[in-house]
């Protein structure tokens, strides 16, 4: 199993912005519904199937997968589901057969009344067990994050009211039970709709986190104020607050913030996010981001997490578009003050050659920390194309070059050139 090859370039993706829970029932438009089921077969031919510097071997990987997706949005409810299951086999002498499930689910559902909502979320993704190792089945694990969040809205006027909420979040690991956690939290929020396009909130939350198998636990209290709404050609969120973690060995406290702005104008879509918060090595930021595979989920630690990311999409012509991403994130242990920074950037061009033929080229680069700052570097370059044989049947071809370099670790440094052919039926 190769993490960076799990999602073929041409699988469609959509960006869903989840609005504050009390706004969902009022702001969503009429019913929108889409669904699909897909069946895919892949053959990957590689000049270094073991991803090794001292045991290079030409070989292949073959893979079969099934995917299912469902999207439904009404004036009161929202559901988004996207899961896939795969099985892969390889003739590499260091690789085992592999299978797994990955995907995500998000549901917001009215319960009996527009003022009582239930939010359900789940995602399951793969990550590297040992960040200094290579990307193969023996060094790969899966993490599940489940969230149940009922919210009771108690309005006392047309513009203002209170929200009472309960939040349960569970993290589960396929290969590391010591990092599994249960967290329970309750919150109270006062809100005021300042204008038709702006909303102010003042919130306080108390949560308790328990590491299920190690006996480590802590409590967290947060107080924050936020304002969100529409501005010019985009949406914004400004949140400022204070967080305190209560540990057996002492307390940790400090300011937290989250700033985000989404801009849509003419042919440009731009999203900028900055945040700082207290979390732990089990949950991290708790978000389903593409760079989660670079996280080290270990050590039972409380962490300060700082992150900034930027996403930009430019529709150059009706047939040509450009996408770019940039992120920086660092985790700082409250116990040791050690900081692990990482960053990455990507750029791609997508071209609709004809009604049936499309092509793309992409480049990704990332640096992360193993022993010293930014001592691991990965570059990935891909070019590919897809031919639509029938409306539901497509053939895709892809060439990929990957180079991983770790300072002072020749055994985990390698380069690989691979070619992928995929046929997919999607209905």
The domain that holds 10 is classified in CATH as: 2.40.170
Q: Is the pTM of this model over 0.85?
A: yes
Tens digit of pLDDT for each residue in 57-102? 899 999 999 999 999 998 889 999 999 999 999 987 778 889 999 9
| pLDDT above 70: residue 217 | yes
Work out how many domains the chain is built from and give that number: 1
| pLDDT above 60: residue 9 | no
pLDDT bracket for residue 293 (50, 70, 90): low
DSSP state of 282: T
- From CA 220, how far away is CA 210, in angstroms rounded? 11
Domain of residue 32 covers 3-426
Specify the long-range contacts of residues 241-248, CB closer than 8 Å, at least 24 apart: 241/203, 243/277, 243/278, 244/220, 245/218, 245/219, 245/220, 245/278, 245/302, 245/334, 246/218, 246/219, 246/220, 246/221, 247/218, 247/302, 247/334, 248/218
Tens digit of pLDDT for each residue in 143-199? 999 999 999 999 999 999 999 999 999 999 998 899 999 999 999 999 999 999 999
- From CA 374, how far away is CA 343, in angstroms rounded? 8
């Amino acid at each position: 199993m190769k993490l960076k090859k799990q999602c073929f370039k041409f699988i469609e993706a959509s960006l869903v912005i989840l609005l504050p829970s009390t706004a969902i029932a009022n702001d969503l438009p009429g019913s929108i519904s889409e669904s699909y089921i897909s069946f895919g077969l892949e053959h990957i031919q590689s000049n270094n199937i073991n991803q090794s510097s001292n045991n290079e071997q030409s070989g292949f990987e073959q893979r079969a997968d099934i995917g299912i997706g469902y999207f439904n949005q009404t004036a009161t409810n929202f559901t988004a589901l996207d899961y896939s299951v795969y099985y892969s086999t390889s003739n590499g002498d260091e690789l085992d057969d592999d299978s797994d499930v990955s995907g995500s689910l998000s549901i917001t559902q009215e319960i009996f009344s527009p003022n009582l909502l239930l939010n359900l979320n789940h995602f399951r993704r793969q990550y590297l067990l040992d960040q200094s190792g290579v990307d193969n089945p023996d060094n790969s694990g899966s993490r599940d994050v489940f969230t149940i969040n009922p919210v009771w809205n108690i309005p006392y006027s047309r513009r203002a009211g209170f929200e009472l909420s309960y939040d349960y979040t569970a993290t589960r690991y396929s290969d590391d039970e010591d990092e599994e956690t249960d967290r329970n939290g309750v919150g109270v929020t006062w809100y005021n709709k300042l204008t038709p396009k702006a909303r102010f909130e003042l919130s306080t939350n108390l949560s308790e986190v328990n590491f299920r198998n190690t006996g480590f636990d802590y409590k967290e209290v947060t107080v924050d104020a936020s304002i969100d709404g529409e501005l010019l050609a985009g949406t914004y969120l400004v949140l400022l607050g204070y967080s305190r973690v209560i540990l057996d060995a002492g307390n940790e406290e400090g300011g937290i913030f989250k700033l985000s702005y989404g801009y849509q104008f003419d042919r440009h879509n731009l999203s900028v996010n900055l945040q700082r918060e207290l979390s732990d090595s089990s949950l991290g930021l708790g978000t389903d981001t593409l760079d989660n595979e670079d996280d080290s989920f270990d050590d039972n630690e409380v962490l300060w997490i700082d992150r900034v990311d930027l996403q930009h999409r430019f529709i150059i012509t009706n047939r040509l578009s450009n996408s770019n991403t940039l992120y920086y994130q660092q985790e700082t242990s409250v116990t040791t003050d050690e900081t692990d920074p990482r960053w990455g950037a990507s750029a791609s061009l997508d071209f609709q050659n004809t009604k049936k033929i499309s092509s793309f080229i992409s480049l990704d680069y990332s640096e992360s920390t193993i022993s010293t700052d930014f001592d691991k570097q990965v570059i990935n370059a891909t070019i590919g194309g897809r031919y639509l044989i029938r409306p539901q049947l497509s053939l895709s071809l892809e060439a990929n070059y990957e180079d991983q370099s770790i300072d002072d670790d020749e055994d985990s440094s390698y380069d690989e050139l691979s070619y992928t052919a995929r046929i997919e039926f999607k209905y």
